Structure 1
Amino acid sequence: MAANPISQGQGLAVFRKQLFSPSLKSNSQPASFLRCYSSQKTENHNENDEQQHRAKQPKSSTPKTKTAKDMARLVNTNPWSSELESSLSTISSSLSKTTVHQTLHLIKTPHKALQFFKWVEVMGFSHNDQSYFLMLEILGRARNLNAARNLLFSIEKKSNGAVKLEDRFFNSLIRNYGRAGLFQESIKLFTTMKSLGVSPSVVSFNSLLSILLKKGRTNMAKNVYDEMLSMYGVTPDTYTFNILIRGFCMNSMVDEGYRFFKDMSGFRCDPDVITYNTLVDGLCRAGKVEIAHNVVKGMSKRSGDLTPNVVTYTTLIRGYCVKQEIDKALCILEEMTTRGLKPNGFTYNTLIKGLCEAQKLDKIKEILEGTMIGGEFTPDTCTFNTLMHSHCNAGNLDEALKVFAKMSELKVPPDSATYSVLIRSLCQRGDYPRAEELFDELSKKEILLRDDGCKPLVASYNPIFGYLSSNGKTQKAEEVFRQLMRRGTQDPLSYKTLIMGNCKEGTYEAGYELLVWMLRRDFVPDEEIYVSLIDGLLQKGKPLLAQQTLEKMLKSSHLPQTSTFHSLLAELLKQHCARESASFVTLMLEKKIRQNINLSTHLVRLLFSRGLRDKAFEIVGMLYENGYSIKMEELVCFLCQSRKLLEACEMLQFSLQKHQSVDIDNFNQVIVGLCDINKLSEAFGLYYELVENKGYQQLPCLDSLKSALEVAGRSVEAEFLSKRIPRQQLLDKSGKSRLQLCCCPPRTTSSQRLFDPSSQFHPDPTSQPLEHIQSICSPKLI
């Protein structure tokens, strides 16, 4: 970032007063790692020409350019409406590709750009591959990733096949998923691209490798690299190796990075200065600064055209500063100037940072006086950040705040690092009101969203997030956190702080949304997060969200307590969520979770009441297969009351098969009911199954069943029953007619009852064969 210039007199006064304050000379705590608090972006060498989607505006004004400017001005200053569309139509009756593309470039907000994109299509303009790619880039860079994805997969349909899907379309969205921290989405899209028959290019592989290595997925990156070579035969280029070298070095695998450096010659890839700078940076980060220095010395020997640049020497200076070898860092600065290279702001700020930590204040004064008088260097945002950071590390927060005030006075723009160091230090001192004021200022100005600042660290804001979430201000904290997410930076502790804050405030849906984002960014929430969300969602009467949360909990390898499962199932049943409850019980059985007989019975009743008989029978079968049961008598009574007599019949047949004790009156009630609705085959079949399984022959309903069979002309079954109607009612010891099936005698086979003289089953020799009876009343099994 180009900071506003400071006059030499002002600058020297500021730094003599602030930087060399006596308070800075004591209690200094050297930082464990040197971080450049730069407001400028690091040069990105991992993208190729296809990413230069923002075309340069022509220097001379042409009619098409004027039309584009007029249209963009209208779109930017008015809400989208039919009136706006009418005004746009009057500006240009016919739209050229140049006009459309230039207008898209000039529209400031992505959603309006998309509306314009759709409008010109309605007006008869045919988009080509260039305009589709441009729109994808606009949406992707603005983090409107869902809209970008929808557009991508609609290209062929919208263009009627005129525009085919290309790898660069996918590459755009893959990169932007990566920038947003959604590396899993990048992988999925890469896989989808291949499944659709779009062959990935070297740019596709470079994009994915960069994303994986930034996430520390070195093994996955190796697999992708091997796939690139063996499966697709794509030849890596210099960009590929620069990505691999930097990625592995940044993941503390310098030896692996150096191996890729040596492999370059095998693919006829000549290392450029970026390659060397990448390797030097990795070696310095690993503490191998002397080796890095030797690599720099060997650059010119490899090729006469290959010489170190400012970045190379600045990296070495930083490496020596980290090791507190300031004299060697100053020697590198001298070597650099001797070679005719002019140090830039990065160089001086890096050196100043190292000198601050080494408490070489006189040397800083000497450098600043020399560079500022000569106009070589003007203190910028990074310089002030370095000064504030040093004051804060030394415990001199008041001095740091004075520097911050001076920045505003001199119109030096602050960046995310400016606010983070002050907010964190204020929180550490317990001055939360002042920290919140700065936090509000940071949020309002949307400083975190500026691409011209250094990438913010979420961890720096955890203290203020914690304070706000503990004091009913989670939404305020979340607004800033979402800005951080849009920059692609994240931290699992921050997610937990905000989720728990939402739970404390009763905004469980907002907490669930953060949970989803947390999982999409490949973080694993702990058990406390899940349990708090599930309990809260149940209290709010949101069992479906609670169920989704529990399922995600299981995928995260956390097993909730049995009581949590039961509470969730009870709430699902309370809200009559039949299908969801059945699915949940299936999940419980898969996870070997103990069942509750009351809840199981309630579920089966609900399924029957909703007409889901097949699912009800399926659930009953699964329960019994896993050693559980339901309250069969209660269920049969419910089915009879609901006039679902066929279902009641099947349930009784099932209970007989499972040898479950059921009151004999239930059988009598069902048989009578079946007779009433003229389901005589089912009624007789149930009685026959009862005789077959339990040996009971006497029921109060037999007279009614026999009469009904005779009226229907079914003499064989009626005759079968007439031989089993008792001459007097059998009574139990209490004088009641209720007989419990659990007291039944052991089961005997049909043939034994037919031909055993001692059996209660005495067939008439003239009656029909047993096979005929069985064919009539063969029970329907579940």
Structure 2
Amino acid sequence: MLLLRRRYTHLSHHLSPPPLTLASPQKQPKPKPPSKPSHSIISQLINKNPNWSPHLESTLSPLCSNLSKTHLLKTLPLIKSPSKALNFFNFLHNSFPHDDQTYLSMLQILARTHNLNAARNFLFSIIGKISSNGSDRFFNTLIRSYGKAGLLRESVRVFNKMKEIGVPRSVFSFNSLLSVLLRRGRTVMAKKLYDEMVSVDRILPDVYTFNTLIRGFCLNSMVDEGFTFFKEMSRSGCDPDIVTYNTLVDGLCRAGKVRIAHNLLKGMRSKSSELNPNVITYTTLIRGYCEKQSVEEALEMFDEMLSRGLKPNEVTYNTLIQGLCEAQKLDKIKEILQGVSDSGEFRPDTCTFNTLMNAHCNGGKLDEAMNMFDKMSDLNVKPDSATYSVLIRNLCQRGDFERAEELLDQLLESEILLKKEGCVPLVAAYNPMLEYLCAVGKAGKAEKVFRQLLKRGTQDPPSFKILILGHCKEGSFRGAYEILVLMLRRDFVPDMETYDYLIEGFLRKGESDFALNTLERMLRSDHRPKTSTFHSILAALIRDGCAQEAAKLVTVMLEGRIRQNINLSTDTIIILFKSGIRDNAIEIVTALYSSGYSVNMEKLVGSLCQDSKFLEARELLLFSLEKHQNLDAELYNTVIKGLCKIRKAQDAFSLFYEFTEKGFRPFLTCLKELVISLKADRRLKEADFVSKQITYRIQDQ
């Protein structure tokens, strides 16, 4: 017992806590805050500096000494300025081993931010550095980006460049360009490209190729051609998938052939057990029936969809609601909305409200539509571009432009037009507002809206004209010219009125060079300007001393058989000589006479004599003699004397000789000066010949 008690005491002594003391406890070291990842530090540093500079590079150097590829790929998207992102990328060139992944990331950043020229230059600068078997990915990125920006010709150029520089084109390259062409309605070009793909490049099309072709032709109201490619699939060993069938159903519905589309749905089921209509198939058919005003059939398709266990999505409900709105079946809409609200299957979204607001506007109930707009805010449903376009358009139609502009200001401030979510905005819907803004001297605000719409890839020819004329009205002709260039780059052709407004504006502002540039673009648009337009621009170029440009315009006029003005032609030759462009001046004179025109030779030679350009004057006088043009003998005397004065006795003699051969008689004073000059130049035979002429003249008197 005593032994047990001692063991217990000994054990408790070791297990008992140590006695409390008044000594202050030791401070535990504070945990260090987690350090920021290097990609965040680098991107913040670059974003903070307004410009790229050697100082910034020296600051970045130690941070980038051990930069990994993962960190680089995370850093590039965080740099707000694409140009600085490219500077950073190039800065790492000597210390970082770039590969296909980093090159592609940089290219995608430039393309995504619409820096397409920079993206193209970057791509061509890295051709020899990227692997040949993956190079088509880089070109595809650029082809698609140009296409999204509406720059079709640039997409085609990049595609053709691949072949020029030996980059192998793949099925993906062809698919990219086919998509771009068909989105712009270039069906003939798309068909030729497909034939080139199969016959020349010997590339087998895939399912995506056929789906792109079928969709493209169907969207361009060419459903029969779409079915031709559908049949071509089996010959090419491609099995249609659900996307193929949905595309054809969509094309048939757009063409108003909803019954055939319905039969195609039935045929799809019998084709394969794996091919079953999905929500998209049924939603497309519901839309087709609604567009045909066959609302009962649309409701039947909706019920069939439910019976097959398919759950309608927001698009399905909104499509059906739109059809019911157009059929004025508002009670049925309330019934559907009540049912889905109770079950929680569907919550009215932006599209639902847009549809209902549009229905109210079409019914002349704009105030009801505005109430619905307010209700969106209450239910925390965010408006999109379509929301604003419906209301703004209808407010403009009612003449309530102030209220419409308030909504437009909200739209601009929130940058909704730039957001990828929601409906793609329609430029045409904003045209009434653009017209109003341009009419009240707010073309700048109108252009801001327009450029936001352009960034989404949407465009409308009338809106370009509205802005051009708006800028012209405010005297901002260069701003109007920029819009004109944008219009042409997107393959839209401005009309005569647009060009005339711009040319007249530049002429009023005294900017003849821009007037000429606009005229050249006008001619390339296959317009034939008025003769007075050519003459006005030529007069302005002469006034501004633009010799080469004036000569260029005279040549264009001659080639286009535009009537010349003798005074303007003469003044053009004069400024060419004054500018020292002698050969061009002679060419223009020759071309004018060859085309049946002439110049005021007395004025022209007189100007040359005033400038002591006697050799040039001699050449023109000889030309006049050749053309049997009678000129005042005083001119010949003046030129011969001038040539003698500058010690060009031989040239003076040859002019004298040709002059007398044509039956003209120089003045005696002129002949005496010529003899003195010839003797001084030791041309005694010629001097003797002229002396005899003097003697004969004196004897005749």
CA-to-aligned-CA distance 1:329-382 (integer Å, 9 cap, x gap) = 122112212222111111111111111111222222221122122111111111
- Per mean C-alpha deviation after superposition, the further-off stretch among 634-643 and 423-432 is 634-643
2:64 is aligned with 1:67:
no
2:87 is aligned with 1:115:
yes
Hey, what does 1:758 align to over in structure 2? none
2:406 is aligned with 1:406:
no
Q: 2-side partners of 1:99 and 1:488: how far apart?
A: 32
Q: 2-side partners of 1:494 and 1:558: how far apart?
A: 20
Asked if structure 1 preserves the Cα contact closer than 8 Å seen for 2:52 and 2:84, the reply is no
Q: 1-side partners of 2:681 and 2:339: how far apart?
A: 117
CA-to-aligned-CA distance 1:239-281 (integer Å, 9 cap, x gap) = 1100110111111111110110111011111111111110100
Hey, what does 2:100 align to over in structure 1? 129
What is the aligned-residue identity percentage? 60
Hey, what does 1:754 align to over in structure 2? none
Asked if structure 1 preserves the Cα contact closer than 8 Å seen for 2:633 and 2:664, the reply is no
Change (3 A) 1:64 1:316: farther
2:190 is aligned with 1:218:
no
Corresponding residue to 1:146 among 112, 117, 131: 117
Residue type matched to 1:673 in 2?
G
Corresponding residue to 1:663 among 608, 632, 636: 632
Change (3 A) 1:590 1:412: same
Corresponding residue to 1:589 among 558, 576, 586: 558
CA-to-aligned-CA distance 1:174-200 (integer Å, 9 cap, x gap) = 101111111122122222222222232
CA-to-aligned-CA distance 1:469-499 (integer Å, 9 cap, x gap) = 1110111000000011111111111111110
Corresponding residue to 1:650 among 616, 619, 635: 619
Alignment of 1:630-645 (within 5 A): 630-645=599-614
Corresponding residue to 1:227 among 188, 191, 196: 196
User: Once the 2 structures are TM-superposed, how far is the Cα of residue 698 of structure 1 from its aligned partner?
Assistant: 6.2
- Per mean C-alpha deviation after superposition, the further-off stretch among 394-403 and 230-239 is 230-239
Asked if structure 1 preserves the Cα contact closer than 8 Å seen for 2:318 and 2:351, the reply is yes
Asked if structure 2 preserves the Cα contact closer than 8 Å seen for 1:500 and 1:532, the reply is yes
CA-to-aligned-CA distance 1:439-497 (integer Å, 9 cap, x gap) = 11111111111011211100000100111111101110000000111111111111111
User: Once the 2 structures are TM-superposed, how far is the Cα of residue 710 of structure 1 from its aligned partner?
Assistant: 3.0
Aligned partner of residue 96 in structure 2, secondary structure: coil
Q: 1-side partners of 2:261 and 2:40: how far apart?
A: 51
CA-to-aligned-CA distance 1:418-445 (integer Å, 9 cap, x gap) = 0000000000000000001111111111
Hey, what does 2:571 align to over in structure 1? 602
Aligned partner of residue 490 in structure 1, secondary structure: coil
Hey, what does 2:322 align to over in structure 1? 353
Q: 1-side partners of 2:501 and 2:698: how far apart?
A: 61
Alignment of 1:6-155 (within 5 A): 66-76=37-47, 79=50, 85=57, 88-121=60-93, 124-155=95-126
User: Once the 2 structures are TM-superposed, how far is the Cα of residue 102 of structure 1 from its aligned partner?
Assistant: 2.1
Corresponding residue to 2:459 among 490, 504, 507: 490
Aligned partner of residue 298 in structure 1, secondary structure: helix
User: Once the 2 structures are TM-superposed, how far is the Cα of residue 295 of structure 1 from its aligned partner?
Assistant: 1.0
User: Once the 2 structures are TM-superposed, how far is the Cα of residue 610 of structure 1 from its aligned partner?
Assistant: 1.1
User: Once the 2 structures are TM-superposed, how far is the Cα of residue 84 of structure 1 from its aligned partner?
Assistant: 5.4
Alignment: residue pair count: 667
Change (3 A) 1:696 1:278: same
Q: 2-side partners of 1:145 and 1:730: how far apart?
A: 84
Hey, what does 1:467 align to over in structure 2? 436
User: Once the 2 structures are TM-superposed, how far is the Cα of residue 90 of structure 1 from its aligned partner?
Assistant: 4.5
Instruction: Kindly indicate which of the two structures has a greater share of residues assigned to helix.
Output: 2
CA-to-aligned-CA distance 1:108-150 (integer Å, 9 cap, x gap) = 553443333233336x223222222111212212211122122
2:624 is aligned with 1:624:
no
Q: 1-side partners of 2:83 and 2:382: how far apart?
A: 29
User: Once the 2 structures are TM-superposed, how far is the Cα of residue 80 of structure 1 from its aligned partner?
Assistant: 5.0
Change (3 A) 1:411 1:231: same
Asked if structure 2 preserves the Cα contact closer than 8 Å seen for 1:349 and 1:383, the reply is yes
Hey, what does 2:339 align to over in structure 1? 370
User: Once the 2 structures are TM-superposed, how far is the Cα of residue 725 of structure 1 from its aligned partner?
Assistant: 1.5
Corresponding residue to 1:517 among 464, 486, 496: 486
Asked if structure 2 preserves the Cα contact closer than 8 Å seen for 1:697 and 1:724, the reply is no
TM-score, length basis structure 1? 0.82
Residue type matched to 1:148 in 2?
A
User: Once the 2 structures are TM-superposed, how far is the Cα of residue 627 of structure 1 from its aligned partner?
Assistant: 1.3
Residue type matched to 1:119 in 2?
F
Q: 1-side partners of 2:123 and 2:109: how far apart?
A: 13
Hey, what does 2:22 align to over in structure 1? none
Q: 1-side partners of 2:35 and 2:294: how far apart?
A: 59
Residue type matched to 2:261 in 1?
A
CA-to-aligned-CA distance 1:157-212 (integer Å, 9 cap, x gap) = 7x5x8889922222111101111111122122222222222232111111111111
Residue type matched to 2:601 in 1?
M
Change (3 A) 1:182 1:731: farther
Asked if structure 2 preserves the Cα contact closer than 8 Å seen for 1:322 and 1:354, the reply is yes
Residue type matched to 2:488 in 1?
L
Asked if structure 2 preserves the Cα contact closer than 8 Å seen for 1:698 and 1:725, the reply is no
Hey, what does 1:273 align to over in structure 2? 242
Hey, what does 2:691 align to over in structure 1? 722
Change (3 A) 1:88 1:309: farther
Corresponding residue to 2:281 among 304, 309, 312: 312
Hey, what does 1:757 align to over in structure 2? none
Higher RCO (C-alpha under 8 Å, 6+ residues apart)? 1
Residue type matched to 2:370 in 1?
L
Q: Structure 1, unaligned stretches of length 5 or more?
A: 1-62, 733-782
Change (3 A) 1:302 1:426: same
Hey, what does 2:19 align to over in structure 1? none
Change (3 A) 1:362 1:77: farther
Hey, what does 2:523 align to over in structure 1? 554
2:369 is aligned with 1:397:
no
Q: 2-side partners of 1:429 and 1:397: how far apart?
A: 9
Q: 2-side partners of 1:452 and 1:75: how far apart?
A: 29
CA-to-aligned-CA distance 1:12-51 (integer Å, 9 cap, x gap) = xxxxxxxxxxxxxxxxxxxxxxxxxxxxxxxxxxxxxxxx
Hey, what does 2:5 align to over in structure 1? none
TM-score, length basis structure 2? 0.91
Aligned partner of residue 700 in structure 1, secondary structure: helix
2:534 is aligned with 1:565:
yes
Q: 2-side partners of 1:76 and 1:383: how far apart?
A: 41
Change (3 A) 1:648 1:399: same
Asked if structure 2 preserves the Cα contact closer than 8 Å seen for 1:155 and 1:163, the reply is no
User: Once the 2 structures are TM-superposed, how far is the Cα of residue 514 of structure 1 from its aligned partner?
Assistant: 0.5
User: Once the 2 structures are TM-superposed, how far is the Cα of residue 286 of structure 1 from its aligned partner?
Assistant: 0.8
Residue type matched to 2:71 in 1?
T
Residue type matched to 1:144 in 2?
N
Q: 2-side partners of 1:275 and 1:70: how far apart?
A: 48
2:417 is aligned with 1:448:
yes
Asked if structure 2 preserves the Cα contact closer than 8 Å seen for 1:104 and 1:113, the reply is yes
What root-mean-square deviation, in Å, do the aligned CA atoms of Structure 1 and Structure 2 show?
A: 2.2
